[in-house]
Structure 1
């Protein structure tokens, strides 16, 4: 009988999962999964970069909402939720990963993109690899 692999000790949350929690009508299955998971959850630095960038961009269009979101993010970062910083090991792995041609679309903007945002997917993946975690994402 093959060995059953244990559940991950930690889930690294992708930006789309964290962002779902602040929506006026978050997807019920995401809220339920967050509430019911027995596994530790962590927010990687790349997720914070993407969320902070979105909040900053929103300031010009909707100051009240940007202040609300900034307050939410600030509270989240001082909560008991684990935060995975950009440490030396993650930095080195991330740098190596940016040199893999097939991973380019995970960290750099597409030439066809309207905005010039740099993607943090590769940074989030590097955090997960270093911490031997699984990325929880809504991407398909």
Structure 2
């Protein structure tokens, strides 16, 4: 059975670079399906618009249309996110709302989160993979 990954913003950004990390690119090309969250899409579009990178924006839209889907933040994910975020902050951990919502999307759909920032998601109890450490 093919594992499905939810790609974090930093993984998609890396793949979009002119000279992406070879490990990340090899891992990315091994995937059958690309899935991300609406939160990641917002972060990508915001970053691209700030840089007036219209070619990159067009590439992003093509990639998402051709090979992937964007998962919405549902009420179930939002509730899970709020509960987890409060529990983690009560333990003294700093948790950003965007990260909590991305983790919730992965949790709700039973996906593995692919991110460079594994530590940001360690307290959520979801499977995480760092493709920057991919060994082929």
Assess same fold via TM > 0.5. Answer: yes
The alpha-carbon distance between structure 1 residues 103 and 32, as it changes in their structure 2 partners (threshold 3 A), is farther
SS at match of 2:86: coil
* Counterpart pick for 2:84 among 90, 93, 97: 97
* Superposition map of 1:1-140 within 5 A: 9-37=3-31, 40-58=33-51, 63=52, 66-100=53-87, 101=89, 102=91, 105-107=94-96, 120-140=98-118
Equivalenced residues, count: 116
Shift >4 Å, 4+ stretches = none
Aligned to 1:117: none
Higher relative contact order (CA 8 A, sep 6+): 1
Q: 1:29 to 1:103 in 2, by over 3 A?
A: farther
Q: Work out the CA distance in 1 between the residues paired with 2:75 and 2:104.
A: 11
The answer to whether the Cα contact below 8 Å between 2:34 and 2:67 also exists between their aligned partners in 1 is no
Structure 2 gaps of 5+ residues are: 119-136
Q: Given the two structures, how large is their TM-score scaled by the length of structure 2?
A: 0.72
Higher share of residues assigned helix: 2
Structure whose alpha-carbon radius of gyration is higher:
1
- 5+ long unaligned stretches in structure 1: 1-6, 109-119
| Cα distance in structure 2, aligned partners of 1:76 and 1:103 | 38
Shift of residue 30, structure 1, vs aligned partner = 0.7
- Root-mean-square deviation (Å): 2.2
